[in-house]
Structure 1
Amino acid sequence: MTRQISPTSNQAQPDHYEELYRDFRWEVPADFNIAQACCHRWANDPATANNIAVYFEDAEGNTATLSYTELQQKANQLSQLLSRQGVQRGDVVACILPQRPETAATMMACLQLGAIAMPLSFLFGPEALEYRLQHSEAVALIVDQSGAEAFQQIRPACPTVKTVVALDCSLENALDWHQHMDAMPQTFSAAITKATDPAILIYTSGTTGAPKGALLPQSAIIGNLTGFVASQNWFPQERDVFWSPADWAWTGGLMDALLPTLYFGKPIVGYQGRFSADTAFYLMQKYAVTNTFLFPTALKMMMKACPQPREQYKLSLRAIMSAGEAVGDTVFGWCQTALGVTPNEMFGQTEMNYIVGNSVQQWPAKPGSMGRPYPGHRVSVIDDDGNEVGINQSGEVAMQRLDIHGTPDPVFFLGYWKNPEATRNKFTGDWCRTGDLALRDADGYLWYQGRADDMFKAAGYRIGPSEIENCLVKHPAVVNVAVVPKPDKERGNLVKAYIVLSAGYRGDDKLVAELQAHVRGKLAPYEYPKEIEFIDALPMTTTGKVQRRVLRLREEERSKETN
């Protein structure tokens, strides 16, 4: 789907960026389906049919493998089951599953059916799930024990979810995965879809209002490929095996790991369990992992736990992509010396993913830089009016609908689900705004300067304050609240809440713990406020809007004073 660019060698090379960027052209077929590209074509080729698609292991040591043929058969059976339950082309099918083979099969089943797959994190609490299931009007759900309890709590509030398939768990009025799948044929006539047809719905947290559902087309995976190939030092190569701890329900795990690995017919390692440095090194050694996507926070944990990993583990790593926050000089240097790999930092969003980054074997990486626009993507820094700013001037990172040759960029999202106003606001003319500020140096590298709004990242997760604030305000002790990032050396930022208390409540440690538990039980664990400060009144504008920026600056100043 993209014109092949061949690496010159495995050693560090001179700067080939301008040539690669100038000569690249998109080749997007009119008819295209992610499931066909990521599974069906490999399963139907005798030379690749028995190749491993997924290696699986869980925290208890249980293991499994799934070939491309087996993955296709499971996908066919699930497509048959869903279609017999009335799921039609264009319907939204939700999935609450961790990294396991059935997750890959579910994605393939939905996509070849022509349905819209909506992956949901098993970390979501009941409130977060309820909103997404209601707003998307999902008609079916595939869930295992990791999400069963949360769904059961809000099931009566989600009447559109007519079909529930329960995997390794017990739910009332649900179809048992194993029982019903075994009764289904292992063949299925896949839908013919256009490259521009909707394929995947992923909800992103916002700074104001509820989370927005970004609707991705079938072509989005094609748009990801230049960044994926480049950041992974020209994936695929003969013995490549991919692993990342990133949740397959998120853009980082789905579009930066699972789908592109399967697109190239290579194996990916799925691990069901908590991340730890020891687990990371264990998995990389056992499965001879060559390529990975690791958040800077994960790299920091690995660096501290095992400063000299190659003295303890036999590693096969040849490429590391990192995103979510700046890697920093210390971790960058550790990757080079201790792992023998220079990390390629990357930047993107769910709406247009994998658009800027590095590829150290093809152009030099500057530690701390977001990198350069990947081939096929026209990315720049613009002002409020949509004009490109000068060198070393701060502006908002934005991407043009068309590449430098005037060809539509296939990576773009189709729009926000049932929210045309938010879709319009995302654009200034043909520039799609990211909300992230950066400056561009004379070599074309982008340098992150912060958020244009109140969004922030903590431990690699994209955090929108609105959902957390809405959750806290529901507690009777809270009159008003503002959520801001608190700078943290380990995680980049911590989630901090400034809270105005209701009359009769005392701001003590007991209440702090109660409020944290309140959020943790309803949203994702990484969203609960690690720190709470009680305040008499929040800073407000004359029109009654909370000035989160004032509180952000306060936290930044405090951080400077303590460092």
Structure 2
Amino acid sequence: MVWETIKKSAADKANASLPDPDAARKTFTWQEARESLDGLPGGGLNIAYEALDRHVAAGRGDTLAIRWLGQHGETLDLTYDDVLKGASKFANILAAHGIGKGDRLFSMMGRTPDLYFAALGTLRAGAVFTPLFSAFGPEPVRTRMEIGEASALITTESIYRRKIAEWRRDIPSLKLVLITGDDAPEDCVALAPEFDKAPDRFDPVKTGPEDMALIHFTSGTTGRPKGVVHVHEAVVTHAATGRGALELRLGTIYWCTADPGWVTGTSYGIIAPLVNGVSMIVDEAEYNLDRWYSTLEREKIEVWYTAPTAIRMMMRAGREAAQGYDFSALQFLASVGEPLNPEAVVWGNEVFGRPFHDNWWQSETGGIMIANTAAMDIRPGSMGKPLPGIEAGIVDTEAEGDALRECADGEVGELALRPGWPSMMRAYLNEEARYNKVFRDGWYLTGDLAMRDAAGYFWFIGRADDLIKSSGHLIGPFEVESALIEHDAVAEAAVIGIPDETAGEVVKAYVVLNPGQDATEDLERDLRGHARKRLGPAVAPREIVFRESLPKTRSGKIMRRLLKAREMGLPEGDISTLETDEK
């Protein structure tokens, strides 16, 4: 199906941070972006200083930084001055326990104010912040803390006793365990009493642009997870892309639904918004449709950054579930985590009065690289165009010789970026060969297959290892999944290739139905016919299997490679991030 372009009005373009994105790409320099930040007094760069101190110094200390919504109805407002004092207290606690520059603090807890004080206090102290998702099991936590040589940990008593206590002493680098609340198990330190007595002033440690600031763990298809290293200069990208891709400005009311245990929740749920002086909404509770709609209305959210999985869950509930809510405050909607199906873009426009703007980036890039910005006409299904300062291309990695061949418009190849943006990863922790492998012939190779059209929009095809080769056709699972989701009965879909003696591979689809739909043979035939009509017989699924759910990571990405491993009886690889399994 060809989706109509969603045209932006002259007012939308005039009010956007990048009124003419194509022109901005021609004149933008990273040096100018660096100069928009303050830097540490006397020289140096520290993320926490840019997020907090410079706003307080500019007289914005009384501005709301975080409105925290507790899962049981509590509300707590924290100004920039409040967060600065909380971060300073946490930095003083670390210093008192011998944790300083270069040490690595891991966090494993829910979205409470302590988490935000810890993240910014760690960076303020010159230590390295490493978030973990609180639903991880004991082995994934242990593996990551071993790889990262954890110096300190902040968590809850419940998580500690269930997931950490048994092996805590097997990590010799771990010197401090902070437990939120008033009490702590033996050999741990209760945070609340320490916080109460700690001074609320702490001069930021003089860190430089290339000093390590963040480690984000990302799973590989096989083997151990990768520790992606970012430095303090990443804040330059966070600041610039927060403005250009997400419309974050002083005083903007902003809600990022991603958990800080993931890279999105840290980069665009803590750093980018605070550096840009917004007022963040932080909801402790997990997804609940009525709660989310009520929050958008009550808090008058202006910019909303969420994930395709959540959008599809809202779509599954139907448009009628959104009726009666006032979404008129919404100015900009964005999505990240996996490709956004065109149906979801159009659905957002119909239900919220504005389309969802997809964007693309990775843990390795540290920030948004390609986006549909506020001034751009939206081509549903496209991830947009490269942001200012980013040079992206499509390359043929199988071309003869060492030099990569750049693909023509309309040709599928691997998405690649020219290195040099400030938030580019500096290493895979302790894996130099693995790191060097992703750089070739002056490009960073992303592992994603994509296509660029004649207008410069980029289109996601699939991960390189997800591509299906059938009877000479190269089939990207995303286009097949999108076609299936167009059917009124389908809520979610995942597609893999399975071996076939004649075709090499054929397409197999796993489908989750909308409420009220029955998994019948007639529906399966109807879906196959629908797909053939949309895609042609060479691309449409040969087999469709109904499931109650699909295997996903806790950040919402469908794990196609896990479906294929189980289909083929192959090793499943790293499944530490698995949240839901197919049934």
From the superposition, tell whether residues 488 and 428 of structure 1 become closer, same or farther in structure 2 (CA, over 3 Å): farther
Partner SS, residue 453 of structure 1: helix
Matches of 1:490 and 1:278 in 2, distance apart?
21
Matches of 1:411 and 1:244 in 2, distance apart?
20
The CA deviation at 1:131 is 0.3
The CA deviation at 1:446 is 1.0
1:107 aligns with 2:119: yes
Superposition pairs of residues 109-124 of structure 1, within 5 angstroms: 109-124=121-136
2:394 to 359, 381, 397: 381
1:150 aligns with 2:154: no
From the superposition, tell whether residues 190 and 264 of structure 1 become closer, same or farther in structure 2 (CA, over 3 Å): same
From the superposition, tell whether residues 36 and 351 of structure 1 become closer, same or farther in structure 2 (CA, over 3 Å): same
From the superposition, tell whether residues 175 and 445 of structure 1 become closer, same or farther in structure 2 (CA, over 3 Å): same
Aligned to 1:351: 364
From the superposition, tell whether residues 367 and 116 of structure 1 become closer, same or farther in structure 2 (CA, over 3 Å): same
Partner SS, residue 200 of structure 1: strand
Matches of 1:537 and 1:331 in 2, distance apart?
32
Aligned to 2:226: 212
Aligned to 2:186: 172
Matches of 1:293 and 1:189 in 2, distance apart?
32
Aligned to 2:474: none
Aligned to 1:241: 253
Matches of 1:16 and 1:95 in 2, distance apart?
40
From the superposition, tell whether residues 529 and 20 of structure 1 become closer, same or farther in structure 2 (CA, over 3 Å): closer
* 2:427 alignment partner AA: G
Matches of 1:53 and 1:488 in 2, distance apart?
41
Superposition pairs of residues 47-86 of structure 1, within 5 angstroms: 47-86=59-98
Matches of 1:418 and 1:192 in 2, distance apart?
25
TM-score normalised according to structure 1 size: 0.77
Aligned to 1:37: 50
From the superposition, tell whether residues 144 and 65 of structure 1 become closer, same or farther in structure 2 (CA, over 3 Å): farther
Aligned to 2:12: 11
From the superposition, tell whether residues 195 and 95 of structure 1 become closer, same or farther in structure 2 (CA, over 3 Å): same
Matches of 2:331 and 2:158 in 1, distance apart?
33
* 2:175 alignment partner AA: K
1:26 aligns with 2:30: yes
Aligned to 2:107: 95
Aligned to 1:228: 242
1:12–1:362: 8 Å Cα contact kept in structure 2? Answer: yes
Partner SS, residue 131 of structure 2: strand
Partner SS, residue 228 of structure 1: helix
The CA deviation at 1:78 is 1.1
1:297–1:490: 8 Å Cα contact kept in structure 2? Answer: no
1:185 aligns with 2:203: no
The CA deviation at 1:255 is 1.0
1:448 aligns with 2:482: no
Give the gaps of 5 or more residues in structure 1: 1-6, 402-407, 464-483, 492-515, 540-545, 549-563
1:241–1:291: 8 Å Cα contact kept in structure 2? Answer: yes
Matches of 1:137 and 1:272 in 2, distance apart?
29
1:332 aligns with 2:336: no
Aligned to 2:408: 390
Aligned to 1:137: 149
Matches of 2:100 and 2:240 in 1, distance apart?
32
Encode CA deviations 1:157-213: one digit per residue, 9 max, x unaligned. Answer: 323211011003643211111111111111112111111211000011011220000
RMSD: 3.4
In the alignment of these two chains, the number of paired residues is 476
Matches of 1:38 and 1:442 in 2, distance apart?
39
* 1:450 alignment partner AA: G
* 1:274 alignment partner AA: E
The CA deviation at 1:489 is 5.7
1:126 to 130, 134, 138: 138
Partner SS, residue 190 of structure 1: coil
1:92–1:136: 8 Å Cα contact kept in structure 2? Answer: yes
The CA deviation at 1:34 is 0.6
The CA deviation at 1:99 is 1.6
Matches of 2:178 and 2:121 in 1, distance apart?
13
The CA deviation at 1:156 is 2.9
1:277–1:298: 8 Å Cα contact kept in structure 2? Answer: no
Matches of 1:225 and 1:33 in 2, distance apart?
13
Range 251-260 or range 87-96, more displaced: 251-260
Encode CA deviations 1:311-355: one digit per residue, 9 max, x unaligned. Answer: 422221111111223322322122112101121110000111300
From the superposition, tell whether residues 160 and 524 of structure 1 become closer, same or farther in structure 2 (CA, over 3 Å): farther
Give the gaps of 5 or more residues in structure 2: 1-7, 36-42, 398-402, 468-476, 482-493, 495-506, 515-548, 574-583
1:254 aligns with 2:263: no
Range 415-424 or range 378-387, more displaced: 378-387
The CA deviation at 1:64 is 1.1
TM-score normalised according to structure 2 size: 0.75
1:400–1:431: 8 Å Cα contact kept in structure 2? Answer: yes
Matches of 2:135 and 2:170 in 1, distance apart?
19
1:227–1:357: 8 Å Cα contact kept in structure 2? Answer: no
Matches of 2:146 and 2:222 in 1, distance apart?
19
From the superposition, tell whether residues 8 and 369 of structure 1 become closer, same or farther in structure 2 (CA, over 3 Å): closer
* 1:394 alignment partner AA: V
From the superposition, tell whether residues 454 and 136 of structure 1 become closer, same or farther in structure 2 (CA, over 3 Å): farther
Matches of 1:146 and 1:59 in 2, distance apart?
17
Partner SS, residue 11 of structure 1: helix
* 1:337 alignment partner AA: E
* 1:400 alignment partner AA: R
Superposition pairs of residues 354-369 of structure 1, within 5 angstroms: 354-359=368-373, 361-369=374-382
The CA deviation at 1:485 is 10
Matches of 1:170 and 1:528 in 2, distance apart?
37
Partner SS, residue 444 of structure 2: strand
Matches of 2:77 and 2:111 in 1, distance apart?
13
Partner SS, residue 30 of structure 2: coil
From the superposition, tell whether residues 547 and 86 of structure 1 become closer, same or farther in structure 2 (CA, over 3 Å): closer
1:126–1:151: 8 Å Cα contact kept in structure 2? Answer: yes
Aligned to 1:474: none
